[in-house]
A = this chain, B = another copy of it.
Amino acid sequence: MTTIREIAKIAGVSVATVSRVLNDHPYVSQEKKAAVSHAVEKLNYSRNIKAIQLSNKHSNLVGIILPKIDLPYFSKIVEGLAEEARNLHLQLVLIQSNYDTEKEREALELLRGHLMDGIIFCSRAISLSEVRAYQEFGPIILLEDTDQDDFYSISIPHDHAFTYGLDYLYSKGHKKIAIALNRIDGTNSKKRIQAYESMMERIKEPIRTEWIFDQCLSIEDGATLMDKYMALNDKPTAFLTTNDQIAAGVLLAAAKHQLKIPQDLAVLSFDNQEISKVMDLSTISIPIKEMGQLAMRALFNSRENSLQASKKRELPFKLIERLTV
């Protein structure tokens, strides 16, 4: 392996000069610069990034933690992250946790071990109190609607958004509303359930726990949800689902049961992903990709002015009226 020293020897300069040329430092004469470049060409030299990382402060690697990349919501976030990372010359280390706290802990240990400059939690299972202990090792960003104000977080206000969706359904004449959530114990879900309960209270409806569906994520989950709906004696007139995939599954399964949407059953979802457009699904749009972009930029900026924790970024959401409500 050819090193900076050999280049220096060939070019007849010191290693410091070679390093300067390689890093485009000022104060290098044209002649020496040319000599170095020439030697680099000649020996087909390229720098050892591992060595650079060791002597530098940063590694330019950012850890991305998510449960499963094969879910449109998360791959969309990562797309935003990757796009921005490209401009900032950062690389993404993708860590798929499956909500295994052990795996998430490992990832935090990588931050502690200086492999990565920072970490972005797209979602998590590990407790914030445990995460907190790692903040001293680098910036950590949460893409969730947290109230812990010592974390930097980016999210839409899920309580408002959920209430907004429920109000919309109510304004369309629905009082009997069921909801489909992802993980019932996730930060966002808690906010949503709160919103749901206070809404039901407000319109004087009982809270039917059997109308709160958990573990809904995919199109197939949506289809399964429809089965559960059919088995219900007391049926809701509307569904509010936390992503478009669930709603799409509901719609497809509903068609098989000859249900008319929205007459027999109204469906409102979140995300505004591609599939919602094609299926004319009413949905509440979330700037998913932008969340990724903002997160990456915030992480990058934190190098200069260290991450302002207690900075909670709230992003806007928007109702997209289509044909399922």
Contacts and interface: CB of A to CB of B under 8 A. Distances in A.
A275 B218 CA distance: 9
Contacts of A70: 72, 75-76, 78-79
A176 interface: no
B114 A50 contact: yes
A208 interface: no
Main secondary structure of the interface of A (DSSP, over half): helix
A69 B68 CA distance: 12
Interface string A26-55: 000000000000000000001111110110
Interface of A: 46-51, 53-54, 59, 61, 64, 68-72, 75-76, 78-79, 82-83, 86, 91-96, 103, 109-110, 112-115, 218-220, 222-223, 248-249, 252-253, 274-275, 277-279
State the number of copies, please. 2
A54 B115 CA distance: 12
Contact of A113 (B49, B110, B115): B49
A2 to B, nearest CB: 12
Contacts of A71: 75
9 contacts: A46-B109, A50-B113, A51-B54, A64-B94, A68-B79, A91-B95, A91-B115, A93-B94, A249-B278
Contacts of A75: 69-71, 75
Contact of A46 (B51, B79, B113, B277): B113
B114 A274 contact: no
Given A50-B113, A68-B79, 4 more contacts: A50-B53, A50-B114, A69-B82, A79-B96
B83 A79 contact: no
Given A275-B219, A278-B253, A103 B79 contact: no
A239 B103 CA distance: 43
B79 A278 contact: no
Given A48-B114, A93-B92, A96-B82, A252 B223 contact: no
A40 to B, nearest CB: 13
A220 B95 CA distance: 29
A53 B222 CA distance: 45
Contacts of A51: 54
A133 B207 CA distance: 65
Contacts of A103: 86
Nearest to A276: B219
Nearest to A85: B96
Contacts of A92: 93-95
A145 to B, nearest CB: 23
